[in-house]
Amino acid sequence: MELKNLEVWFITGSQHLYGEAALQKIAANSRCVVEGLNASGRLPMRVVFKALVTTPQSILDVCREANASSRCAGLAFWMHTFSPAKMWIAGLTALQKPFVHLHTQFNRDLPWSTIDMDFMNLNQAAHGDREFGFICTRMRKPRKVIVGHWQDPEVLDRLAAWQRSAAGLQEIRSLKVARIGDNMRQVAVTEGDKVEAQMRLGVEVNGYGIGDVVRRIAEVSDADAESLAAEYGSLYALAPELRPGGNKLSALLCAARTELGLRHFLEEGGFKAFTDTFEDLHGLEQLPGVAVQRLMADGYGFGAEGDWKTAALGRVMKVMGEGLPGGTSFMEDYTYHLDAAAPLVLGAHMLEICPSLAAEKPSCEIHPLGIGGKADPVRLAFTAPAGPAVNVAVIDMGDRFRILVNEVDVVSPPQSLPKLPVARAFWRPRPDLKTAAACWIYAGGPHHTVLSQAVATEQIEDLAEMLGVECVKIDGRSATSETKNQLRWNEAYFMAR
Ligand code: MN
């Protein structure tokens, strides 16, 4: 998708007090750090040493240049020496890109036997970075502070997480969501303020009639539909009735035609996310199943029943997780196994779960839906593999957006489910189902989420920081009473802002 095309600009702060020779050494050390970061193999995005800045004007210039650069996803600041921070006010005021404050120093160890005052004067991040940190805090600048030696794998991993969030921010700032049909009637949590979303998050959400898609579907040639149906046959285990000569082959061709028409519609409009609703399917024979699933696997965000917030989040998390193992999908907390000894959530949807979550070859099946009054839809069925994951959601609190994250552990189903013909995942929420579900419900969390086995909590928190959006985390250490208090405090904080 995008990560390899983006850059982080590395800016080292200093001042003229130390003399030209010291500044040359600082620039050389900065280049060495940047080369080391890039050579680590742990960062998804390239770091570029952009400037050693020593004056207010040079700081302002590089911040303005960053604002104007479409390749620059964010900046990393490091004060190798002391850099009086009033020099940074104009630049930080102008800066519109996210930044990380890398609180590191060139040498890992104290050179015990040789350390002298020259060394002390050159390696001052321990106090220079505090001066920079003060002005960031004084100016209420959102940022991420990463502490440790630049070769420390943990430092690199925290920087990598932030880079992925910066890519997510870049994506949401230019994202267009096609809302095909309106909301599922009377549903509250999928509604929200689309004007505020565009102002605060950048995402543009616009409505389209289902007829716009129906027309694209009608334009698909028989040859193209047959060719795509054959591709389904090569990629998935086709149910017998969907194979050539089978009595439901026409339904498979209809599904393939739907995918092509929907894909053309999205490509023409530059949409990277979309919603539909089974209450507005006029002119479609089936609720789109395999079509939506395969579009998600290609990186599109999706939300069912008009859920544009989850669709946008899904696309952003696809970008953030690019290249990482594990899938990312639209998801719904569907039903529970409430055995007190081993409770589980069964996550699924009517059809639309992304096959990026599938560990094995999905089966392509056709079954009645029992809802929506349309022909039997074709869908991919599979079970998500065991492993850690996050369930993430965005809700509109009326005065602000809230992002919710629940860390979960996807598990293998303890028994087979021979009569359940949909893609699904089973998970144990952390810290436990009772606490997690209570916290989620107190926080106003929706039934729709994006489940990801690629994206981690830290990336979501970093993204929320960049967006200035509330982020509530439910993890292995959460307790219901503390989460309730956090929600109350957040309410006061965001009201006061
Ligand atoms: Mn739903």
pLDDT in tens, 197-217: 999 999 999 999 999 999 999
First-residue to last-residue Cα distance in the chain:
36
Ligand 1 centre and the CA of 115: distance in Å?
A: 64
Ligand 1 centre and the CA of 10: distance in Å?
A: 43
Q: What is the mean pLDDT of the chain?
A: 97
If one counts every other C-beta atom within 10 angstroms of the C-beta of residue 46, the result is 16
- What's the helix, strand, coil split of the chain in %, to 5? 40, 20, 35
CA 13 to CA 55: how far, in whole Å?
9
Ligand 1 centre and the CA of 184: distance in Å?
A: 9
Tell me the backbone φ, ψ of residue 204, rounded to 5 degrees.
Answer: -105, 120
Ligand 1 centre and the CA of 459: distance in Å?
A: 25
Ligand 1 centre and the CA of 303: distance in Å?
A: 8
Burial class (CB in 10 A: 0-12, 13-18, 19+), 168: buried
Ligand 1 centre and the CA of 448: distance in Å?
A: 6
Ligand 1 centre and the CA of 317: distance in Å?
A: 19
Ligand 1 centre and the CA of 271: distance in Å?
A: 21
Ligand 1 centre and the CA of 422: distance in Å?
A: 14
Cα dihedral 71, 73, 74, 76 in deg (nearest 10): -70
CA 50 to CA 54: how far, in whole Å?
13
Ligand 1 centre and the CA of 309: distance in Å?
A: 13
69: left (phi over 0), alpha (psi -120 to 50) or beta: beta
Q: What is the mean pLDDT of residues 278-284?
A: 92
Query: Over the stretch 82-124, which tens digit does the pLDDT of each residue have?
Result: 999 999 999 999 999 999 999 999 999 999 999 999 999 999 9
Angle at the Cα of 145 from the Cα atoms of 21 and 136, rounded to 5 degrees: 80
Query: Over the stretch 214-257, which tens digit does the pLDDT of each residue have?
Result: 999 999 999 999 999 999 999 999 999 999 999 999 999 999 99
Ligand 1 centre and the CA of 260: distance in Å?
A: 24
Ligand 1 centre and the CA of 182: distance in Å?
A: 14
Ligand 1 centre and the CA of 399: distance in Å?
A: 24
Ligand 1 centre and the CA of 235: distance in Å?
A: 27
The residue behind tokens 């639209």 is 330
Query: Over the stretch 150-195, which tens digit does the pLDDT of each residue have?
Result: 999 999 999 999 999 999 999 999 999 999 999 999 999 999 999 9
DSSP-derived letter for residue 133 is: H
Ligand 1 centre and the CA of 348: distance in Å?
A: 9
Query: Over the stretch 313-322, which tens digit does the pLDDT of each residue have?
Result: 999 999 999 9
Ligand 1 centre and the CA of 16: distance in Å?
A: 60
Ligand 1 centre and the CA of 33: distance in Å?
A: 48
Q: Are 160 and 73 in contact (CB under 8 A)?
A: no
Ligand 1 centre and the CA of 449: distance in Å?
A: 9
Q: What is the mean pLDDT of residues 364-384?
A: 92
- At position 356, the amino acid (one-letter code) is S
Ligand 1 centre and the CA of 311: distance in Å?
A: 12
Q: Are 77 and 101 in contact (CB under 8 A)?
A: yes
If one counts every other C-beta atom within 10 angstroms of the C-beta of residue 440, the result is 23
- List of residues 6+ apart from 138 with CB closer than 8 A: none
Tell me the backbone φ, ψ of residue 416, rounded to 5 degrees.
Answer: -80, 160
Query: Over the stretch 41-69, which tens digit does the pLDDT of each residue have?
Result: 999 999 999 999 999 999 999 999 999 99
CA 47 to CA 27: how far, in whole Å?
15
pLDDT score at 496: 87
Ligand 1 centre and the CA of 72: distance in Å?
A: 37
Ligand 1 centre and the CA of 273: distance in Å?
A: 16
Q: How far is CA 298 from the centre of its chain?
A: 15
Ligand 1 centre and the CA of 479: distance in Å?
A: 28
Ligand 1 centre and the CA of 307: distance in Å?
A: 8
Q: What is the mean pLDDT of residues 373-390?
A: 96
Ligand 1 centre and the CA of 183: distance in Å?
A: 11
- List of residues 6+ apart from 178 with CB closer than 8 A: 206, 208, 265, 266, 269, 271, 273, 274, 275
Q: Is the pLDDT of residue 1 over 70?
A: no
CA 344 to CA 483: how far, in whole Å?
22
pLDDT score at 239: 97
If one counts every other C-beta atom within 10 angstroms of the C-beta of residue 374, the result is 14
Ligand 1 centre and the CA of 42: distance in Å?
A: 37
Ligand 1 centre and the CA of 332: distance in Å?
A: 6
pLDDT score at 370: 80
Ligand 1 centre and the CA of 304: distance in Å?
A: 6
CA 213 to CA 198: how far, in whole Å?
24
pLDDT score at 427: 98
Considering only 220-234, 257-271, 294-308, 366-380, which range has the smallest mean pLDDT?
A: 366-380
Q: Is the pLDDT of residue 372 over 90?
A: no
CA 470 to CA 216: how far, in whole Å?
39
Q: How far is CA 108 from the centre of its chain?
A: 33
pLDDT score at 276: 96
Ligand 1 centre and the CA of 352: distance in Å?
A: 9
243: left (phi over 0), alpha (psi -120 to 50) or beta: beta
